[in-house]
Amino acid sequence: MIPRLLATFWITALLAGCAVHNPYYDPAKPHHTPTGFQNLYQPSRNLDLDALKWQWQRLLQGFPPSPPHESVLGVTPDTGFLHHNHTVPSITWIGHATLLVQIGGLNILTDPVFSERAFPVSFLGPKRHQPPGVALKDLPHIDAVVISHDHYDHLDLPSVRALYQQAGGPPLFLAPLGIHDWLANNVSHGDRDHIRGLDWWAKAQLDGVEFQLLPVQHWCARGVRDRNRRLWGAWGILHPDLRFFFGGDLALSPDVDTLGAQAGDFDLAALPIGAYEPRWMMKPAHINPAEAVEIKRRIHAAKAVAMHWGTFELSDESLDEPPRALTRARQQAGLPEQDFFLLKHGETRVLKTGDWVAPTH
């Protein structure tokens, strides 16, 4: 019970905040505020009270309400292919929101989390149920890292430090405003040569690959005094061989239609399908599988791959429920399985004649 109470304190504390000056403030931009950033369409709510109510319900009902019905199994990664592939677009699910994307000869990592727990302290918080599908030491040299937001299940300090110190030199870190300063302060010892901070709709280039930060509804915080002081977002990663959308965490909001109209027509979208119950708590920040299917349609993505499930228990659905819910949502939408597919931890798919298939040697 004591660890649960401590976890409740920390999770609730993460939602607290205080007023500070926003050094990036631009009054012409509606998502900027003098003290930080805000969503464009999110209704007013008291996050502190909601979080306390939810955690109290969880304490009374137990963590989680129902155990997994089936084991969530991984596969042995094809590291030989990953180290030698410089031409074929590929995607590998490492776990949660961590994906290795190979585009245009670059190795790109999304929201790298390789630690055992997604929490400020190593002995509390959500524990990894699956080891990383590809270990840090087995990765090919990473050229770029994109960060969607600063929550602990998406931005892990030991992981980004290890990547900054990788053999062959640091990757380029691309992050929303404020997170780039956090990286400079906590990872690179003030060196900003390998760090870029972007606002919504801003772009960066690396060796023929374009990266664009896109607006989505979510929020940020890593401590008790920094709620929404840093920006969040999704990423468009664009190359003639592949237009890839990385959703990070997001809600189903009008932002989706805006980015679909202005930056859509993706070949592949990585969309979260987990951490969605209870809906009264999670809906303003996390989509469920049915909403993921809807977002695929609204951003005009030819294919989608599921992520953000099966690694950490973060909410009230069982660990293995999201794939079943995705199957139901896909069938209801008349969507073939190959158009919104699942990967196992460590599994790689390559783009071949419009479909994502296992690599051949």
For 299, the token pair is: 């951003």
Average pLDDT over residues 91-95: 98
Residues 113 and 55 in one domain: no
Average pLDDT over residues 102-121: 92
- Looking at residue 264, its pLDDT comes to 86
- Write out pLDDT tens, residues 184-243: 999 999 999 999 999 999 999 999 999 999 999 999 999 878 999 999 999 999 999 999
- Looking at residue 213, its pLDDT comes to 98
Top pLDDT among 12 and 248 is at: 248
> Would the CA dihedral through 231, 235, 236, 237 be positive or negative?
positive
Question: pLDDT category, 44, cuts 50, 70, 90?
Answer: low
- Looking at residue 72, its pLDDT comes to 78
Distance in angstroms (rounded) separating the CA atoms of residues 307 and 266: 17
Task: Mean pLDDT check: name the lowest of 33-47, 53-67, 117-131.
Answer: 53-67
Residues 214 and 341 in one domain: yes
Residues 54 and 81 in one domain: no
With a CB cutoff of 8 Å and minimum separation 6, the contacts of 23 are none
Q: Is it the case that residue 254 has pLDDT exceeding 80? A: yes
Residues 193 and 338 in one domain: yes
Assess if residue 35 is contained within a domain: no
Range of the domain at 185: 72-357
Residues 288 and 308 in one domain: yes
Residues 103 and 5 in one domain: no
- Looking at residue 65, its pLDDT comes to 60
For 208, the token pair is: 């023929």
Q: Is it the case that residue 170 has pLDDT exceeding 50? A: yes
The helix (run of H) or strand (run of E) holding residue 80 is helix 79-84
Assess if residue 51 is contained within a domain: yes
Question: pLDDT category, 2, cuts 50, 70, 90?
Answer: very low
Residues 52 and 198 in one domain: no
Name the average pLDDT for the chain. Answer: 90
> How much of the chain, in percent, has pLDDT values that exceed 90?
78
- Write out pLDDT tens, residues 290-331: 999 999 999 999 999 999 999 998 888 989 999 999 999 999
Assess if residue 125 is contained within a domain: yes
Assess if residue 267 is contained within a domain: yes
Average pLDDT over residues 46-74: 70
- Looking at residue 112, its pLDDT comes to 98
- Write out pLDDT tens, residues 272-292: 999 999 999 999 999 999 999
Q: How many structural domains is the chain composed of?
A: 2
Average pLDDT over residues 117-134: 82
Residues 84 and 195 in one domain: yes
Q: Is it the case that residue 13 has pLDDT exceeding 70? A: no
> How much of the chain, in percent, has pLDDT values that exceed 70?
88
- Residues 217/41, Cβ–Cβ less than 8 Å: yes
- Looking at residue 326, its pLDDT comes to 98
Assess if residue 333 is contained within a domain: yes
Average pLDDT over residues 336-361: 95
Residues 7 and 107 in one domain: no
Question: pLDDT category, 63, cuts 50, 70, 90?
Answer: low
Residues 58 and 86 in one domain: no
Pairing of strands 106-110, 98-103: antiparallel
Question: pLDDT category, 23, cuts 50, 70, 90?
Answer: very high
Assess if residue 106 is contained within a domain: yes
Average pLDDT over residues 72-94: 95
Residues 148 and 256 in one domain: yes
CATH, residue 130: 3.60.15.10
Residues 6 and 98 in one domain: no
Assess if residue 100 is contained within a domain: yes
Assess if residue 37 is contained within a domain: no
Q: Is it the case that residue 4 has pLDDT exceeding 80? A: no
- Ramachandran sector of residue 77 (left: φ over 0; alpha: ψ -120 to 50; beta: rest): beta
